[in-house]
Amino acid sequence: MKNDPAIHVENLTKMFGDFTAVNSISFQVGKGEVFGFLGANGAGKTTAMKMLIGISKPTSGQARVAGFNVRTHAEEVKNSIGYMSQKFSLYNDLTIKENIVFFGGIYGLPKSVLKEKTQALVDELGLHDHADALVRSLPLGWKQKVAFSVALLHNPKIIFLDEPTGGVDPITRRQFWEMIYREASKGVTIFVTTHYMDEAEYCDRVSIMVEGNIEALDTPNKLKERYQVGSMNEVFLKLARNIE
């Protein structure tokens, strides 16, 4: 049990009618790993991720997340994971504090812990002056940081991040990755999709999805070696071009 991977995927497939969005992908993510899940728009990243977090039923294949089968034990999976979606998804008409209390409450955190966590979170993000401001009024970068922290509230073993830094300025992006590393150092597994190839370099391993298939999966350095290029960006372009 101890050596079980955090995420174990075998021949996972999702079809929408005739269209194969995810075509029999298989991979493993180890505990505490920062795993980059790359691919062009429409390559099937988000669909694959939705199956892993238990809100979309696989057409066929198996996936175990935190030791639970996503098909049969979706609710147990949900208890062990955190998720931050591509679409900003905190409540705009609630304050930062209220959002934290609400989501924490739904995950069943006891009152004392909720209070503690809220305080710690506000301290950590330096949002004292804004804790009671409606989320609507915050800049996007702050919102994303709050959303990330909310996804961490219940101490999940694995965190799924769907393009967490889309539309955010470089400085905030950097801060964001610092937060990601801090969590990884605590042993949390990170599963992240991104468009930014420089961010791919920060990952322990990356997979590149093209048209529903995983075309490559390795550490960034080994991938660059294999394709004999200098950056992840070029790796990505090469793979995408091969398909066309």
Partner 1 sequence: MRTIIFLLVKEFKQIFRNKPMLVIIFMLPIIQLLILANAASYEVRNIRFAAIDADQTPYSRELVSKFRASAQFDFIAMYPSEKMGKEAVQQGTVDVVLHIPQNFERDLQKEKKSQLLVTINAINGSAAAVENIYVTSIIKDFNKTVQVALRNAADTAQKPKEVIAIPLFWFNPELDYTTFMVPGILVLLVTMVALFLAGMNIVREKELGTLEQINVTPIKKHEFIIGKLTPFWILGIAELMVGLVIAKIAFDIPMVGHPGLLFLFASVYLLVVLGIGLYISNFTETQQQAMFLAWFFAVIFILMSGLFTPIESMPVWAQVLTEFNPVKYFVEVIRMVMLKGSSLKDITPQLVKLGLYALVINALAVWSYKKVS
Footprint on this chain of partner 1 (rule: CB under 8 A): 50, 53-57, 74-76, 78-79, 81, 83, 85, 87-94, 98, 101-103, 105-108, 134
Q: Give the residue with the Cβ less far from partner 1, 40 or 134.
A: 134
Q: Give the residue with the Cβ less far from partner 1, 98 or 204.
A: 98
Q: Least separation, in Å, of the C-beta of 132 and partner 1?
A: 12
φ/ψ of residue 235, rounded to 5: -55, -45
81's tokens: 């994971």
Q: Least separation, in Å, of the C-beta of 235 and partner 1?
A: 31
Q: Give the residue with the Cβ less far from partner 1, 130 or 205.
A: 130
Q: Give the residue with the Cβ less far from partner 1, 55 or 240.
A: 55
Q: Least separation, in Å, of the C-beta of 57 and partner 1?
A: 5
CB of 39 closer than 8 Å to CB of 208 = yes
CB of 144 closer than 8 Å to CB of 133 = no
Q: Give the residue with the Cβ less far from partner 1, 90 or 180.
A: 90
Q: Least separation, in Å, of the C-beta of 234 and partner 1?
A: 34
Q: Least separation, in Å, of the C-beta of 79 and partner 1?
A: 5
Dihedral sign, Cα of residue 13, residue 15, residue 19, residue 21: negative
Dihedral sign, Cα of residue 159, residue 161, residue 165, residue 170: positive
| Coil vs helix vs strand at 92 | coil
Q: Least separation, in Å, of the C-beta of 123 and partner 1?
A: 23
Q: Give the residue with the Cβ less far from partner 1, 57 or 186.
A: 57
Q: Which residues of 28-55 are buried (b: 16+ CB within 10 A; e: fewer)?
A: bbebbbbbbbbbbeebbbbbbbbbbbbe
Sequence-separated (6 or more) residues with CB below 8 Å from residue 35 = 7, 29, 189, 190, 191, 192, 203, 204, 205, 206, 207
| Coil vs helix vs strand at 38 | strand
Whole-number Å distance between alpha carbons of 58 and 75: 15
